[in-house]
Chain A
């Protein structure tokens, strides 16, 4: 039975993770807007809480695989801000020495093993991480995040079947933000819900309001517990909204006004704030959390700005274990 309540420490944790994601996204958009940064950027505005609540149900050494729109997942999982900012800016102090960028953030110390720029490709890889854990008996679970658009690519179906066949300790977190790039859900998928696809593979599948912190956390926790207990994978369909275009600066006039209004009404940030107040957190306490985070964002932006550019010798490194000859 999934819990319907949450303890205050966990709630504070989720709030902090959510706001860390939100303030980082805000900071990036301001750097882009003012021309201090000029990179491709996939904003996570609207999906902050989904990841924060999901990652709060994982341990730091659990594995995560995510996609190019994955900054909320990475930050919520715990990737430190300084190297994250530097990576997105293409600097040598980045998680990947500037060689990956926002679409390929990797940080094994916090379990972030792969960020892929190819829709759906993370799912088969997540199975392999989970397979290693299953063979080792190390108790780790693997979470893989993807959007509704990814559920129409073959890799999704192959991976779902294999995960259930082998009862792998993996959680498929579909962040259904109702758009695959520019195409609305109903225009790319004929079923009402992604969860029906879990049933097609004999897999446990649950649908949850991703902007409901308590439900999102408890649903994820139940799936994590099942996976750790050797009971196999779960598909979670977390309903959420992508509140901006496909990438920063992209036109999103194709989103109808009623959808935009619905999104605004469901904005996870004010909703979470209200939930915190309902749980007797004070305005002052919440403001202090955000102020502290903003100071961290400023420091991370400065770290990134001051980090050197990678030199051309980096091209010869990490192609293979041994350096390529000049």
Chain B
């Protein structure tokens, strides 16, 4: 068996490699320095010892000031990484992200740019309740000037983080709390996964499931089960949610003729609506069934595990959506 690496180790390694290469790579966030334990999720463990407190800066609980400082440092030519401990806390920094990081390149006519990575953690399933669990990628996908990335496995996490840091535009990098312990075969040092490229994680011919992040695992599990029923499912892991790899998605659905778009975020007005809509625009008349969406329920994320499990996209519902598409009679 080859060497394995967890997603936590993978992200840490990507940041470590980028910091070793470029003095301008810095990390700002609450509790991220060695003195505070290297971050709540230990992503920056060991980095202060190597790069010092000028580059690994533990901040006050001041999300606007964290993102704003990273925007400013990026304008000066640095490649800062802002750690926003939990994705719901980006709400406090929205002005800096939406009005500034996303728009300064455009509003300056290309004179300035903001090579910034905002790392943030979230996820449903650990009982953190309504203000610590949301997937808010659709909010950012609606803003021109932001790229949004989320890995579904450790190797991609390493490669996507390197690409995000190298990107000359702001990137929102979403880490799912339930995925930190996932192990991949170690991709080795220097691994890069380009932004904007989806992965065909499992090939199939009857229906495409288009998804990203933690729900890729659900999609793969369902695809395995459905193969026993003779249904061949193709799983597309977007990896970059926006701008997404439309060529790969369209080609897959052109081949299968059916698509289910799956995400953990609330279904209403989610990124699934955009993807389904674009598939209709591109493939109307070639689709064998309507494109359907599966997402979180339209409520705050509940705390009680029983409710949380009822809230989250249900594996049976995903399988049923695929079966309905395959059996669609019009």
Which residues from B are CB-within-8-Å of A161?
A: 60, 62, 65
Q: Map CB proximity to B onto A300-326 as digits: 1 under 8 Å, 0 otherwise.
A: 000000000000000001111100000
**Taking each of B68, B69, B168, which has the highest tally of chain A beta carbons within 10 Å of its own beta carbon?**
B69
Least Cβ distance of B172 to chain A in Å?
14
Interface residues of chain B: helix, strand, loop or mixed (majority): mixed
Q: Is B42 an interface residue (CB 8 A)?
A: no
Name the segment of A38-46, A92-100, A272-280 touching the other chain. Answer: A92-100
In angstroms, Cα B113 to Cα A320, docked, is 9
In angstroms, Cα B253 to Cα A53, docked, is 64
A96-B107, A99-B107, A100-B107 known; A128-B74 Cβ under 8 A: yes
**Complex partner residue of B60 from A126, A132, A162, A318, CB under 8 angstroms:** A162
Chain B contact-residue range equals 35 or more
In angstroms, Cα B70 to Cα A226, docked, is 24
**Complex partner residue of B95 from A63, A118, A126, A132, CB under 8 angstroms:** A118
- Say yes or no: A107 contacts B60, CB within 8 Å: no
**Complex partner residue of A125 from B59, B72, B110, B168, CB under 8 angstroms:** B72
Q: Map CB proximity to A onto B86-110 as digits: 1 under 8 Å, 0 otherwise.
A: 0000000001100110001111111
**Complex partner residue of B65 from A97, A108, A159, A317, CB under 8 angstroms:** A159
**Complex partner residue of A121 from B23, B57, B99, B111, CB under 8 angstroms:** B99
B residues neighboring A (CB under 8 Å): 23-24, 26, 54-55, 57, 59-60, 62, 64-65, 67-78, 80, 95-96, 99-100, 104-113, 144-145, 147, 168-169, 243
Inter-chain pairs besides A99-B108, A125-B68, 16 sampled, C-beta below 8 Å: A96-B108, A96-B111, A113-B75, A121-B95, A124-B65, A124-B69, A124-B71, A124-B72, A128-B75, A131-B69, A132-B73, A134-B54, A155-B65, A158-B65, A159-B64, A317-B110
A residues neighboring B (CB under 8 Å): 63, 65, 94-100, 104, 106-108, 113-114, 116-118, 121, 123-135, 142, 154-155, 158-159, 161-162, 165-166, 317-321
- List 15 interface pairs A-B (beta carbons < 8 Å), by A numbering: A96-B107, A99-B106, A106-B107, A116-B100, A118-B95, A121-B95, A123-B68, A124-B68, A125-B69, A127-B68, A127-B72, A132-B73, A135-B26, A162-B62, A318-B108
